[in-house]
Structure 1
Amino acid sequence: MQPAQPGRPREGRATRDAILATARRLIHVHGYRGTSLDDVLKESGVGKGNFYYYFKSKEELGHEILNELIQEFLEETLEPCFADPGASPLGQIRCFLARVLEIQRRTNCVGGCPLGNLAAELADRHEGFRARLHGVFSAWQERLRDALCRAQARGHLDAACDPAAMAAFVVASLEGAILMAKLAKDIEVMERCVAELGRYLSMYEMLPAS
């Protein structure tokens, strides 16, 4: 039996979007492994034939959701702070820290980090997702490392600072803080961590001579 064909292009897009939105919501609450294909179909009201017209499997759906999450992270959190190559590198990092904090404040510490949640759930269980998520976190660290290297080259950061180590420390600290804030349901947990990261960064900052 052939899968049901979608109607007009706009209707077809709406069906695909409904599948993605429903699956994202369920995975955010129940996790990838805790969300079945039947759950997605029931919640979205989409038939199985239409689902398989757009996605070959739950795994393909999961990768498409991951694409969306990565794109949103880049567009909403990372790129706005690092887009201008002429800006102060340390200012860019502080902008990024503030954006991460603001996102957690906006969500009232509910849900945590979608990428971090998937990494914690799937790193030991699904090599394909693990590899992609590792690439995302590595790229995030590399963006921070590059900013720190530029700060050193401009004489704004002490040579004693190891850019790669600090970048990894910032990412690990933020992910841990997001988890702790989620557990406590208290934005102050996140605020204290971001403030401490700012102080740590300032320890290596070299201010211009007056």
Structure 2
Amino acid sequence: MVTAAADLMYRRGVAGTSTPAVRDAAGVSSSQIYHYFADKDDLTRAVIAFQSEAILSHQAPLLARLDSIEALRSWRQVVVVDAARRQNGAGGCPLGTLSSELSDDHPGARDALAASFTMWSEAIRAGLAAMVDNGSLRPETDATTLSLALLAAVQGGLVLAQAQHTTEALEAALDAVITHIHDHAVPPA
């Protein structure tokens, strides 16, 4: 049910996804949906958790192996840019798309999205902190600020990719932040 709802909400938006549409797409009865979810807001929060897990489980292995600027560039290419290119920029980020649609009128969803972005930023921060620990980046490097900048570059770049159907802005934003991170690199001995 959650997978079907996630697909529909990604393609149609939350407002454009009805519970009967989820029921039909999942091949379940309405009573089954309401057995597991109190209402559409509850289902939407489950979709946010599902999308967050999908993103983090895909990116975490690469972020956990960050040991150099080259590894960071590999994450940028494999996880972000190549995925956006495969879709010709269409669709954007599932979490970003939900964020732009769900206003403060949906505080539970807003809180769930904020928590998801925090987890994503923390995964990036942990990767950058590992680069500090292994001596790739200077000890005074602020991994927290740089992780937020990278995540903001991803989100902003994906919004522009979605509108322009090109990854040019996404690549430029990520490259600018990675260049800034490179400025914190320890020079080779």
What is the TM-score with the length of structure 1 in the denominator? 0.77
1:153-168 equivalence runs, <5 A: 153-159=133-139, 161-168=141-148
User: How many equivalent pairs are there?
Assistant: 188
- Within 1, Cα distance between the matches of 2:130 and 2:61? 18
Q: CA deviation at 1:208?
A: 1.9
Which residue of 163, 179, 200 maps to 2:180? 200
- Residue equivalent to 2:37: 55
Amino acid corresponding to residue 80 of structure 1 in structure 2: P
Give the superposed CA RMSD.
Answer: 2.4
Q: Contact 2:6–2:51 (CA<8 Å) still a contact in 1?
A: no
- Within 1, Cα distance between the matches of 2:130 and 2:34? 48
- Within 2, Cα distance between the matches of 1:183 and 1:92? 29
Which residue of 45, 48, 57 maps to 1:75? 57
Q: Percent identity?
A: 27
What is the TM-score with the length of structure 2 in the denominator? 0.84
Q: Contact 2:9–2:17 (CA<8 Å) still a contact in 1?
A: yes
1:1-210 equivalence runs, <5 A: 19-44=1-26, 46-76=28-58, 78-84=59-65, 88=67, 90-98=69-77, 99-159=79-139, 161-209=141-189
Q: CA deviation at 1:72?
A: 1.0
5+ long unaligned stretches in structure 1: 1-18
Q: CA deviation at 1:115?
A: 0.7
Q: Which has the higher contact order (CA 8 A, sep 6+)?
A: 2
5+ long unaligned stretches in structure 2: none
Q: CA deviation at 1:159?
A: 4.5
